[in-house]
Amino acid sequence: MIGSSTGEAQLLAERAGLSARLAALAGLVQIGSVRRGSDGFSDELLADANDLLTRAGQRLMLSADHTVVALAGGTGSGKSSLFNRLGGADFSAVGVTRPVTSEAHACVWGLSGSGPLLEWLGVPRRYRYARSSALDSGEQSMSGLVLLDMPDHDSVMGHSNGLVDRLVGLSDLMIWVLDPQKYADAAVHRRFLVPLAGHSEVIAVVLNQADLLTAAQIEDCVVDLRRLLDSENLHDVQVLVTSAATGAGIEELRKLLIDAVSARRASAARISADVDKIVVQFAPYGELADEGADLRVRAGAAGALAAKFAGAAGVEAIGDSLRSARELRAMDYIDWPVSWLAERLGTRDPVRKIRLGRLWQELREISAGPTGAQQAEIDLALTELADETAPPLPLPWSRTVRAAIRSHADDVPAALGTEIAAALPAERSAERWWRLAGVGQGLLLGCALVGLAWFGTLLAVGAFHAGSGMPRLFSAVVLLPLAALLVFASLLAGWLMAQRSRDAVSAAASRETRLLEDDIRRRMTGVAQDLVIAPADLELSELGRYRANLEVARGRARVELGASAFRA
Q: What is the pLDDT of residue 540?
A: 94
User: Does 164 have pLDDT greater than 90?
Assistant: no
Residue 429 domain flag: yes
CA–CA dist 283, 201 (Å, integer): 23
Q: What is the pLDDT of residue 472?
A: 62
Give the model confidence (pLDDT) of 504-520 as tens digits.
878 888 888 888 889 98
Residues 130 and 251 in one domain: yes
Residues 254 and 312 in one domain: no
Which amino acid, one-letter code, is at 57?
Answer: G
- Identify the band that residue 542 occupies on the pLDDT scale cut at 50, 70 and 90: very high
Which of 352-356, 425-429, 480-484 is predicted most confidently?
Answer: 480-484
Burial 476-514 (b: 16+ CB within 10 A, else e): eeebbeebbebbeebbebbeebbeebeebbeebbeebbe
User: Does 281 have pLDDT greater than 90?
Assistant: yes
Domain with residue 169: its CATH number is: 3.40.50.300
CA–CA dist 114, 148 (Å, integer): 13
CA–CA dist 218, 211 (Å, integer): 9
User: Does 194 have pLDDT greater than 50?
Assistant: yes
The stretch 68-92 carries a mean pLDDT of 85
Number of domains in the chain: 3
Nearest-5° Cα angle at 20, 19 to 24: 115
User: Does 338 have pLDDT greater than 70?
Assistant: no
List % helix, strand, coil for the chain (3-state, nearest 5): 65, 5, 25
Q: What is the pLDDT of residue 367?
A: 53
Who contacts 567 (Cβ-Cβ below 8 Å, separation ≥6)? 26
User: Does 562 have pLDDT greater than 50?
Assistant: no
Q: With contact defined as beta carbons under 8 Å apart, do 566 and 53 qualify?
A: yes
Residues 27 and 113 in one domain: no
CA–CA dist 381, 306 (Å, integer): 9
Who contacts 513 (Cβ-Cβ below 8 Å, separation ≥6)? 319, 320, 322, 323
Residue 440 domain flag: yes
Residues 54 and 76 in one domain: no
pTM of the shown model: 0.74
Q: What is the pLDDT of residue 509?
A: 80
Which is more confidently placed, 180 or 31?
31
- Identify the band that residue 501 occupies on the pLDDT scale cut at 50, 70 and 90: confident
Who contacts 522 (Cβ-Cβ below 8 Å, separation ≥6)? none
CA–CA dist 409, 479 (Å, integer): 77
Residue 291 domain flag: no
Residue 539 domain flag: yes
Residues 205 and 142 in one domain: yes
Residue 293 domain flag: no
- List beta partners, residue 240: 206
According to DSSP, residue 99 is labeled -
Which of 154-163, 237-246, 347-356, 472-481 is predicted most confidently?
Answer: 237-246
Give the model confidence (pLDDT) of 149-163 as tens digits.
988 776 544 445 678
User: Does 359 have pLDDT greater than 60?
Assistant: no
Q: What is the pLDDT of residue 97?
A: 44
Provide the residue range defining the domain that includes 12: 1-61+269-286
**CA-closest candidate to residue 508, choices 455, 432, 563, 423:** 432
Give the model confidence (pLDDT) of 16-54 as tens digits.
888 899 999 999 999 999 998 888 899 999 999 999 999
Residues 395 and 514 in one domain: yes
Pairing label, strands 105-108, 145-149:
antiparallel
The stretch 245-252 carries a mean pLDDT of 90
Which of 196-200, 271-275, 312-316, 553-557 is predicted most confidently?
Answer: 271-275
Residue 248 domain flag: yes
Q: What is the pLDDT of residue 60?
A: 84
Residues 96 and 21 in one domain: no
